[in-house]
Amino acid sequence: MTRDLLKAAMTVRRDVGRVSDVIHAAVIALALPHILDEGEIVDTRPSLGPGNDPSRRFDLRTNQRVAEFKVSVWTGGDVMRKRGLVADLVGLAIHAPHHLRPELWVAGAEPLRFLRTSTSPMGNLLSRASQHLRRAYEERYRDLDLPLRDFLAQHAARVRLFDLAEILPTVAAAVL
């Protein structure tokens, strides 16, 4: 164990962390030609990294839709990924303007299966979400014991769910 080893490890952690930003931006850029409808225009610069900056609530906003992209590949120990996915779903259900179509794009079938079948209570899934999102959920829906699958069917039914692997072969290869 040396100072040089620590310095190198810290540098790798700092720089490799940005790989997620590159993946996120690349997925959105490569998906756009496949998902945009005729006459649809991106009217706000897409998010170039996971997580949104304060000036943009959604990863993508066009004149017809708002969308969130979750590009992580699930491996079995996915508690934090599940919570992040649910937070994005709730954010779309609550904050998507009514004149725009809300969409949630994920990498692979497993996140979609989780959303559609999970009986985990919404309160548990949102326990580590931002206070703002938890408060908005509680004010609008009240029921923290509501199973995720029921939340999807009852309150987030207008959010369209899509698998990025169906339009991007590189994502499909990564989730096999």
| pLDDT tens per residue across span 83-99 | 999 999 999 999 999 99
Determine the number of helices (DSSP H) and then strands (DSSP E) in the chain.
Answer: 8, 5
3-state secondary structure at position 120? coil
CB atoms near residue 145 (< 10 Å): 10
**How many C-beta atoms lie closer than 10 Å to residue 15's C-beta?**
9
Average pLDDT in the chain: 92
What integer is the mean pLDDT of 119-148? Answer: 97
Whether residue 129 contacts residue 144, with contact meaning beta carbons closer than 8 Å, is answered with: no
pLDDT at 52: 53
| Residue 109, CA atoms < 13 Å, CB-side half-sphere | 3
Can you point out the beta strands (E) in 78-159?
101-106
pLDDT for position 4: 86
| Residue 66 host element (H or E) | strand 65-70
Residues 40-49 have a mean pLDDT of: 86
The helix or strand, by DSSP H or E, that contains position 62, with its residue range, turns out to be: strand 60-62
Look at the chain and report how many structural domains it folds into.
1
Which residue range forms the structural domain that includes residue 68? 3-174
Q: What is the pLDDT of residue 92?
A: 98
**Taking 80 as the threshold, does the pLDDT of residue 40 lie above it?**
yes
Gap between the Cα atoms of 97 and 107, Å rounded? 25
Whole-prediction pTM value? 0.89
pLDDT for residue 53 is more than 80: no
Predicted pLDDT of residue 142: 95
Query: Which CA distances in Å does 15 have to 1, 41, 93?
Result: 21, 33, 34
Burial degree of 92 (CB within 10 A; 0-12, 13-18, 19+): buried
